[in-house]
Amino acid sequence: MLKLSGEAFAGKEPMGIDPGVVGQLADSIAEAVRGGVQVAVVVGGGNMFRGAALSQGGMDRARADYMGMLSTVINCLALQDFLEKRGIETRVQTAITMQQVAEPFLPRRAIRHLEKGRVVIFGAGLGSPFFSTDTCAAQRALEIGAQALLKGTQVDGVYDDDPRKNPDAVRFDHLEYGEVLTRGLGVMDATAISLCMDNGLPIVVFDLMGEGNILRAVRGEKIGTLVSP
């Protein structure tokens, strides 16, 4: 299960979709699929709307979260298009029904698609406000029986401080779930971490845009930071 942040889709822009970036992501996913790996993807929506940010501006949080969930679907359709242009079969499944653009989320059907070599892209998060797409990625990973949750980020792993601000920040090769929670490390929100911890789902945090990284991560090669029991 590969989690792609919405932010990545915007490239260097603050908002929107950078075709170059999405094309690069699709290239890597296509290569992994051609290599025989079953790949499911959860896409975020941070390049468009985040509920928490909108609610700070005065919007009702739940309504703002629905806007966030809808923005993830736009990203899913973009990724779907770029993958299909590379000859990879895909299905988008959404947690909010919108049958003209995507299948509804049906776990057994998702597993069947994966077995047939299709990439399944999950959109609209969990379909419920007050959750994140990270939590969605953990939940969907568990429900479809994924081996690991691969979280692509802007940095090459988990550090004890922000490496973009502190040059002395130290990167962890391995962390236990509890350490992530007690140290308050910003890997994923606590709900997502707890879900992985309770079910022993390993998380790999890695630099999404580093060349060859997606492939390395899906092949189970050592990369970034591993969060596991």
Interface residues with ligand UDP (CB under 6 A) are 5-7, 44-46, 50-52, 65, 68-69, 72, 125-126, 128-129, 131-134, 136
Q: How far is the CB of 104 from ligand UDP (least distance, A)?
A: 15
Output 50 or 91, the one with its CB closest to ligand UDP. Answer: 50
Measured from the CB atom, the residue of 6 and 224 that comes closer to ligand UDP is: 6
Q: Min. distance of Cβ 51 from ligand UDP in angstroms?
A: 3
71 belongs to an annotated ligand binding site:
no
Looking at beta carbons only, is 188 or 197 nearer to ligand UDP?
A: 188
CA 107 – CA 167 distance, rounded (Å): 43
> Looking at beta carbons only, is 124 or 148 nearer to ligand UDP?
124
Give the nearer residue to ligand UDP in terms of CB position, either 76 or 201.
76
User: Is 63 annotated among the ligand-binding residues?
Assistant: no
Cβ–Cβ < 8 Å for 227, 203: yes
Dihedral sign for Cα 89, 95, 99, 103, please.
Answer: positive
Q: Please, which residues have CB within 8 angstroms of residue 100's CB and are 6 or more apart in sequence?
A: none
CB 117 within 8 A of CB 33: yes
Q: Tell me the closest approach of the beta carbon of residue 130 to ligand UDP, in angstroms.
A: 6
**5 has binding-site annotation:** yes
Q: Does 173 show up as a binding residue in the annotation?
A: no
User: Minimum Å distance from CB 167 to ligand UDP?
Assistant: 26
Q: Are strands 40-43 and 119-123 parallel, antiparallel or unpaired?
A: parallel
Considering the complex, what minimum distance in angstroms separates the CB of residue 57 from ligand UDP? 13
In whole angstroms, give the CA distance from residue 30 to residue 14.
27
- Nearer Cβ to ligand UDP (128/228): 128
Residue 224 labelled as part of a binding site: no
What is the nearest approach in angstroms of ligand UDP to the Cβ of residue 168?
27
Consult the annotation and say whether 131 binds a ligand.
yes
1-19 in b/e form (b: 16+ CB < 10 A) is bbbbbbbbbbbeeeeebbe
Task: Judge whether 200 is annotated as a binding position.
Answer: no
Annotated binding site for ATP: 3-6, 46, 50, 153-154, 159, 162
Annotated binding site: 3-6, 45-46, 50, 65, 126-133, 153-154, 159, 162
